[in-house]
Amino acid sequence: MTFKGGYLTQKETQIWNLRKKIDNQSEIARKLGVSRQAISLSLISIETKMEKTFNEIIDANNLHALQINTIDGVMEAYSPAYNLPVIVSLSNTNGLKVWYLYEGNCEKCDLERKCRNELLEEAKEREVILSSLDKKLEPTKLARIVFQRYINEGKHNDKEN
């Protein structure tokens, strides 16, 4: 079961998408024609599900979480086994992905095109602007750029859990 298909209901996904852009629960409620209390309860459920998802990834990949942002669906982590920084992302377009930030050998990998396309979709969904040169980088370098810009340039909500 993927994040796209199983962790959040369709309504929760809609609320999560709005929450990434709107900080006010009353405004989200108005847009959806429901009560603020309904949004508040949904956000608690969403938060719980996302925390569970991130914790499952931490356990499955033997990671140390550094920062978890459930609003944006991004976790910064560290892999002691590989001595590497890791980004775990939850997105509408790609679902759940674990990005090990290392100097890879992408040109020899048959998944190179798939990884690049997924990263370009991550950048688009997260409104990270990439130059034409950025888009040509191998995926291991592109991943670092997409998530560093997203995290460092304030393209996300500054709320930690």
pLDDT digits 0-9 by tens, 3-55: 554 588 889 989 999 998 898 999 999 999 999 999 999 999 999 999 999 99
pLDDT digits 0-9 by tens, 99-156: 998 887 888 888 999 999 999 999 999 899 999 999 999 998 999 999 988 887 754 4
pLDDT digits 0-9 by tens, 79-107: 999 999 999 999 988 988 999 988 878 88
Domain count within the chain: 1
100 inside domain: yes
Q: What is the DSSP annotation of 61-118?
A: HT-EEEEEETTTTEEEEEETTTTEEEEEEEETTTEEEEEE-S---GGG-TTHHHHHHH
Q: Which domain holds residue 127?
A: 3-152
160 inside domain: no
158 inside domain: no
161 inside domain: no
Q: What is the pTM of this model?
A: 0.84
Residues 6+ apart with CB under 8 A from 161: 47, 51, 68, 69, 70
Strand partners, 46: none
